[in-house]
Structure 1
């Protein structure tokens, strides 16, 4: 009997010895499309890593955000404070100690470690990072965007650490060819003198939008609780001179308007630059003129610039950094009285180019901003149901390709329309159904109605259970913009998002004037009480999937605008006066 026990123990010990010491956290099948793998970086190269702790309270938080944002719920409007949120998400002492001990054992200097909520940020060398993550880092170059980064195709952690880890980046996060580029606007052309004087049917100006969406006679009072935030990335500089020239011609009653500039992670705003900045100019000029008198800030997050080369930015000429994490951590660390009430961003990429874990973690950070009362607005993209419409998992399966972060359930995504009386869906308006995020309860009834109309069309090319985008829409063609001493015409959902964001700022002003809280995360309100304040768009549709051969089944892929919600214009376009009354009803 004793002999059998000894043998059994030996077998157990042998089995344990055969178990891998490391467990895979993330693994890519191949080098992402468009990227070329190069040499290994020097072992002494520094790399800054962010580690997200697997925190059960994250799921609880997302439900809390829904409760806080749903009209009729007892917690509606009770937004969380910064310190309250951090305490809620902070891991227990035992977990923190275990992670710190692991980092220390891997030669990570304690002086480089920062703890913030459920995040640890630290700096180490490539040599030590490769050992602790059981991986190999390489230079990867993207010729089309002249971007060079240090990344790996996968990483692992010790078995005993694995249950604590959600994600460590930058490692497998590459992004697609559009990574770190402002969502390409559908059209940017020089405006002629005739364009500048054309009527609203031919061009779009602030007056055209204010008349179309019922904002005439509205004027917000400057209020620090209602700051409008405008995201800026990659050498998109918001120029005050162009802004004032735009006001003088198209908003002469707002010539006292202004905006401040805040740098995140060394972001630049070189107003003397000769580079075109049509996106920044568009966003600033239209969001502010729609918000009228609201305090506004342009938040410029570093992309390329004079940054100290490290693992994420190894070459000064081709440096690049991850904007979402830098920007979101900056906002979440702001004191409550400095946080913007509305944040508009005209930026995105194909959802499939974003690792699912990264997308989930980033989306949760957007949810955290929603918990603190921030309305987050994103453009839905300019490729209709998708561009190439080919999967990147090696199978080259044909499928519709939604955009991220527009597909995150905790942001409000904005599609595009054109024309008036009636407004129509425009062909490039991005939309569809997420492959990564399940359809949230707040839009279940609305999306279910559309799927019934759609029937079997495009079956198998989209996820019928996914989060539907966009949520709303606004005009998106022929916006007159002043950029770098020239007048241009701009089209794209990049124009629609700041337009809608400016209207949300006005709605916040109405609520604050009545002693109410700001709206915060918008979607549960929009899909319930807010829906009667939207103009339903039932004409037009989107087109996409042009990247296939002539005989391809997706060559003329279309999604139509229909009564009710649709994946081209969402719930429709805003009408300020009805929305203002509905905003006061809760």
Structure 2
């Protein structure tokens, strides 16, 4: 069980009233896997995701995933017996991968069966956001605890990653920039827009058709809804050939929320507007969770009848802020399974440079899940020259570095080794040189030219961050998936071995060779030729990466 929980409080969350006994809670029991089974499954995943392998991109069905990696039948039966007979749950569901038992049960039953106390918590700044968490350790009977890795979500306090908007009047409008900058009107010519991104990265724009079976999704969390009015306003303002629309929402939506509140719906609208603009006709799904739960997101993806082929997630905390290693391992295993089914999982790398959300200290603070070996982490860049589509430099606030939890991945050992031999490195006391290096690649994210968005019923402003870069990369990958599907091939799935193979082949990325991810302070990692711990392999050259992806 989750015995290494680090904390039961957060300065960003205020404890409120104790939960009413009758209040229904959604609880997930994540079951343990045999460690040897996990190692064997990882080997299988690498066979499936490495270009040149005889099994490349021959993704597994949910049934095949269960056959190769799932808890024992005994474990499932013990947990089911506990939730029915001890918790008294009648609403019980075992996901397709057999690794999670989901229940909806009164809070009082949870407190008694898990020997803990549950309270409402509201966010200190975003007071409409309310979550239920335990204020002390939970426990399970020995017969159950031996089979359970994590009970979610009882103890994790998320660091909410809301995008901040810059009013239009705060930027100087460019008068000499190329025509792409005024694609959304001259008033907004200081902002990155879909036409600017297409000019820099070379993807098809507009994308007016799609291959059967293709899809893309974004993940959104507590109160990050979207509204069609802003999607329509953005589409009209930027002259898109078709209005950005959402084909399916999993988990619900409350569009009226986007008309009021503090920076309402900024994060979700940023994601949806740019994925929709770049992916074009490719069906766009929204996965919404009320609980800021990576566990819930992973289990929902695993259980979907028609999961997206790509999903972008602009969410994460420092590894040091995660409640336990058991939690991170459970998330990792779930994302491994998703990748083996042909789903590309793409995360923003963070917006505080090497220092993370913890801030300045005696060591850097790597991000999770960006530091997970089983996701693709997207860092940030700026144009070297404002409003000039051309060379990019590392954005100083782009998340970057080396994981303290996870070893250097097998598909990046040469790249990491080469980078660690460069001259301009920070003191080794600040980072784990044996850790998984990230980001894997990057896209525009910085404040030199923020992204233009529509929000709050047609208000326009600028947003910066890897929260913008991640959906851009995801939408580009969706376009490459489209080319593969049209050619009778399968989706790209777990991306990283392919991306690093493309990087080694050369020509698939705009190499970023300047800038440091110091978070505006000192230290940080410097961009160098080839892969580096500031921007990964750099930014995508669409035609070359598509050509490489189609060659396997």
Q: State the TM-score, normalized to the length of structure 1.
A: 0.81
Residues 26, 154 of structure 1: 8 Å contact kept: no
Q: Which residue of 2 aligns with 1:352?
A: 320
Residues 140, 151 of structure 1: 8 Å contact kept: no
Q: Which residue of 2 aligns with 1:416?
A: 380
- 2:322 equivalent to 1:341: no
2:93 to 108, 114, 128: 114
Provide structure 2 residue ranges, at least 5 long, that are not aligned to the other structure. Answer: 182-189, 384-388
Q: Which residue of 1 aligns with 2:441?
A: 472
Residues 427, 540 of structure 1: 8 Å contact kept: yes
Equivalent-residue separation in structure 1 for 2:74 and 2:409 (angstroms): 34
Q: Which residue of 1 aligns with 2:467?
A: 494
RMSD after superposition = 2.9
Q: Which residue of 2 aligns with 1:308?
A: none
Q: Which residue of 2 aligns with 1:156?
A: 139
How many residues align? The count is 522
Secondary structure of the equivalent of 1:400? coil
Q: Which residue of 1 aligns with 2:274?
A: 286
Secondary structure of the equivalent of 2:454? strand
Q: 1:229 to 1:198 in 2, by over 3 A?
A: farther
Q: 1:27 to 1:475 in 2, by over 3 A?
A: closer
Q: 1:271 to 1:294 in 2, by over 3 A?
A: farther
1:52 to 22, 26, 30: 30
Secondary structure of the equivalent of 1:328? helix
Aligned pairs for 1:317-336 within 5 A? 321-335=291-305
- 2:491 equivalent to 1:518: yes
Equivalent-residue separation in structure 2 for 1:452 and 1:543 (angstroms): 20
Secondary structure of the equivalent of 1:327? helix
Q: 1:43 to 1:63 in 2, by over 3 A?
A: same
* Displacement after TM superposition at 1:382 (Å): 0.9
Equivalent-residue separation in structure 2 for 1:85 and 1:388 (angstroms): 35
Aligned pairs for 1:492-571 within 5 A? 492-531=465-504, 532=506, 533-544=508-519, 555-571=521-537
The superposition leaves residues 201-235 of structure 1 with CA deviations (integer Å, 9 ceiling, x where unpaired) of: 74322221111112357746323421121222333
Q: Which has the larger radius of gyration?
A: 1
Provide structure 1 residue ranges, at least 5 long, that are not aligned to the other structure. Answer: 1-22, 304-320, 392-396, 547-554
Residues 512, 538 of structure 2: 8 Å contact kept: yes
Residues 538, 562 of structure 1: 8 Å contact kept: yes
Residues 25, 157 of structure 1: 8 Å contact kept: no
Q: 1:198 to 1:159 in 2, by over 3 A?
A: farther
Equivalent-residue separation in structure 2 for 1:540 and 1:285 (angstroms): 28
Q: Which residue of 2 aligns with 1:166?
A: 149
Residues 223, 295 of structure 1: 8 Å contact kept: no
Q: 1:437 to 1:188 in 2, by over 3 A?
A: farther
Q: 1:231 to 1:454 in 2, by over 3 A?
A: farther
* Displacement after TM superposition at 1:140 (Å): 4.8
- 2:235 equivalent to 1:255: no
- 2:395 equivalent to 1:407: no
Residues 471, 571 of structure 1: 8 Å contact kept: yes
Q: Which residue of 1 aligns with 2:209?
A: 221
Aligned pairs for 1:234-249 within 5 A? 234-249=222-237
Secondary structure of the equivalent of 1:460? helix
Equivalent-residue separation in structure 2 for 1:510 and 1:382 (angstroms): 32
Equivalent-residue separation in structure 2 for 1:153 and 1:39 (angstroms): 15
* Displacement after TM superposition at 1:461 (Å): 1.8
Equivalent-residue separation in structure 1 for 2:22 and 2:488 (angstroms): 56
Aligned pairs for 1:310-459 within 5 A? 321-335=291-305, 338-355=306-323, 356-387=325-356, 389=358, 398-419=362-383, 420-453=389-422, 457-459=426-428
- 2:250 equivalent to 1:264: yes
Q: State the TM-score, normalized to the length of structure 2.
A: 0.86
Residues 207, 278 of structure 2: 8 Å contact kept: no
Residues 153, 171 of structure 1: 8 Å contact kept: no
Residues 215, 310 of structure 2: 8 Å contact kept: yes
* Displacement after TM superposition at 1:137 (Å): 3.9
Q: 1:196 to 1:221 in 2, by over 3 A?
A: farther
